[in-house]
Homo-oligomer: A and B are copies of this chain.
Amino acid sequence: MKDKKLKIIPLGGLGEVGKNMTVYEYQNQILIVDAGMMFPDNDMIGIDYIIPDFDYVVQRADQVVGIIITHGHEDHTGAIGHLMEHVNAPIYATPLTNGLIKNKLSRRNFPKEAKLINVHAGETVQIGPFKVDFFHVCHSVPDGVGLGIETPAGLVVHTGDYKFDHTPVDGQPTDYGKLAELASRGVLALLADSTNAERKGWTPSERVIDAAFDHVFQQAKGRIIIATFASLISRMQQVLDTAIRYNRKVCFTGLSMVENARIARELGYLQYDESQVVSLDVALSMPASKVVLLVTGSQGEPTSILGRLANGTNRLFSIQEGDTVVLSSHPIPGNEEAVYRAINRLMEKGAEVVYTDIEAVHVSGHASQEEIKLLLHLVRPRYLIPIHGETRMLRQHKRLAMEIGMDERQIALVENGRVIELKHGELKLGERIPGGYVFVDGTGVGDVDRSTMRDRELLSQDGVVLINLMLDKNNGAYKDLEIISRGFISQDESVDFFDDLRHRIHNLTQSPSKNMQKEIQALATSFINEETKRRPFIFVSISKV
């Protein structure tokens, strides 16, 4: 008789456990939950994005029976294209999630033969040995689901990103009944979102934003420009609803806004009358007090519409006196500088700017401490495996669980790549497989490593100096010396500085030498370091001409 053993492996995320992918494996059959990407930290220089190291499933590609995507955010969908290069299995997701996936990934390398299967919250689907209950959860994108995953080794609940919003914009609260029903069957393990485990209380409902929007719309005299995530469909609905009350037309601006709005409306997740929405051309020709523009760039990204408006480089329209700009978002850690810089620049260009520090124009999509405790009481798992969080958040999650009476031995704090084994109702930690992340830079996946990045950092610190000595090809006598630098010193200062260095190298070449290249390298290194205390990369080449 085969072992009734379920393996669970969290993967991906920059130190956030199981942020982008979780692998469920039962008797050599694999179910993948989510396939997302992350944006790099500030010190991961030149990297476009990061995906989980999913070599484990690549090695077992033919064992994968299905891929479930819990909701339509990039950190849960962004690596699907990369995964599908290796794994050919059906993708199960709700209609909106599938719509967003199709649209987002059709622009990248999404394989045409990929099989997307629509599942609705409340349905149960058998995927290989996994009997999966999809249940509705509130989050900052509609149609998100959590999972009850039944296997002969036991029942596991996987929340995905969730909050308990009693007054969600789409009217769909998290499915308390299903959570209770799962609990009644006896939940062996709960994998739950830890993002806000440090945050006291209860995350405010999306509804509180209505009041803030009302206030903004009452005050605004000119155009209203609202920046938010293109995936925040419920925020779009709130803007549309408020715009009707204040007799303004809404313009979705930018490709991702327009397309996501279209998809969400087609699938019934966004309700509005065509007459409420105008094109950018029309919006720009209307009286300022009659329009609302919905734009991307709430993280201050310099290439986004909001970023370009702040920098004065947007082609189609610019900030004008009397505009009210609303940043309906919160800076993601690491983006604070960019966001606050954009706010300052927008103000300096004449806009009123409303942002979360001064008005409640955004709320989090993740459960805070009281919600996390409620979830634990509802689900009553034998084991808790905190996921979706850095070490500090997982620790807090554990602390919360212990406050409500769980025992330390019931809580497994694991790192990415740790194999969790569930057998005979017991949890054991198994081996550690590679669970890091892979850098994607341009078209290269994994061809930039830590050492390349260290070089990039060094290059960025003090730049590069190239020294090309030209000697007479006949007698080896000094003929000319070319010094080029990038990122080392300003053009104005470089003339005198390099004249001095050139003079010293010229002197050096007057004496015979066994290894002229090495001697020039040493001379330049010490001269530059003494004069400037900098250490650029120095390359010396010698040509005979």
The chain A residues found within 8 Å of chain B, CB to CB, are: 15, 41-43, 45-46, 198, 333-334, 336-337, 340-341, 343-345, 347-348, 353, 355, 357-358, 390-392, 395-396, 441-444, 447-449, 451-453, 455-464, 466, 468, 473, 484, 486-493, 531-534, 537, 539, 541-545
Establish whether residues B46 and A532, one from each chain, have CB atoms under 8 Å apart when the complex forms: no
* Residues of B with C-beta under 8 A to A462: 46, 441-442, 456
Min distance, Cβ A445 to any Cβ of chain B, angstroms: 11
A492 to B450, CA, bound (A): 12
Q: Report the minimal beta-carbon distance from A81 to chain B, rounded to whole angstroms.
A: 15
Q: Using Cβ atoms and an 8 Å threshold, which residues of chain B touch A444?
A: 489, 493, 532-534
Interchain CB contact (< 8 A) of A464 among B41, B457, B493, B537: B537
Shortest 10 CB-CB distances between A and B: which pairs? Answer: A442-B533, A460-B460, A543-B543, A456-B487, A455-B487, A46-B461, A449-B490, A344-B391, A459-B459, A447-B493
- Determine if A455 and B333 form an interchain contact, defined as CB atoms under 8 angstroms apart: no
* B residues in contact with A486, CB < 8 Å: 455, 458-459, 464, 537
Interface of A is mostly: mixed
Q: What are 28 A-B contacts defined by CB distance under 8 Å?
A: A42-B42, A45-B460, A46-B487, A333-B336, A334-B336, A347-B391, A355-B392, A441-B462, A442-B532, A444-B534, A447-B490, A448-B489, A448-B490, A449-B491, A452-B489, A452-B490, A453-B487, A456-B461, A456-B463, A456-B487, A458-B486, A464-B486, A466-B539, A484-B539, A486-B537, A539-B539, A543-B544, A543-B545
A441 to B444 alpha-carbon distance, docked (Å): 33
Of the residues B395, B452, B453, contact of A347 by C-beta under 8 Å: B395
CA distance A285 to B486 in the complex (A): 51
Q: How many copies does the complex hold?
A: 2
- Besides A340-B390, A484-B539, 15 more A-B contacts (Cβ < 8 Å) are A45-B461, A343-B392, A441-B533, A442-B534, A443-B532, A444-B489, A444-B533, A447-B490, A447-B532, A449-B492, A452-B488, A455-B486, A456-B460, A459-B460, A468-B541
A363 to nearest B CB, angstroms?
17
Contact (Cβ within 8 A) A544 B544: yes
A460 vs B395: C-alpha distance when bound (angstroms): 35
Nearest B residue to A474 by beta-carbon distance? B473
Residues of B contacting A487 in the complex (Cβ-Cβ under 8 angstroms): 46, 452-453, 455-456, 458-459
For A443, give the chain B residue with the smallest CB separation.
Answer: B533
B341 close to A337 (CB less than 8 A): no
Contacts of A451 in B (CB 8 A): 490-491
Chain B nearest CB from A474 CB (Å) reads 9
Find chain B residues with CB under 8 A from A355 CB.
Answer: 392
Q: Which residues of B contact A493 (CB under 8 A)?
A: 444, 447
**Cα A488 to Cα B537 with chains together (Å):** 14
* Set B344, B459, B463, B544: member contacting A390, Cβ < 8 A: B344
Q: What residue of chain B has the Cβ atom nearest to residue A489's Cβ?
A: B447
Task: Report yes or no: B340 in contact with A392, Cβ–Cβ below 8 A.
Answer: yes
Complex alpha-carbon distance, A443 and B333, angstroms: 33
Q: Are A337 and B337 in contact (CB under 8 A)?
A: no
Bound CA–CA A449/B390 (angstroms): 38
Residues of B within 8 A of A449 (CB): 490-492
In the bound complex, residues from chain B placing their C-beta under 8 Å from that of A348 are 391
Determine the distance from Cα of A212 to Cα of B486 in the docked complex, in whole angstroms. Answer: 50
Could you tell me the distance in whole angstroms from the C-beta of A31 to the nearest C-beta in chain B?
Answer: 29
In the complex, what residues of B have CB within 8 A of residue A458's CB? 486-487
How far is B531's CA from A534's CA once the two chains are assembled, in angstroms?
A: 33
Pair A46/B448 contact, Cβ less than 8 Å: no
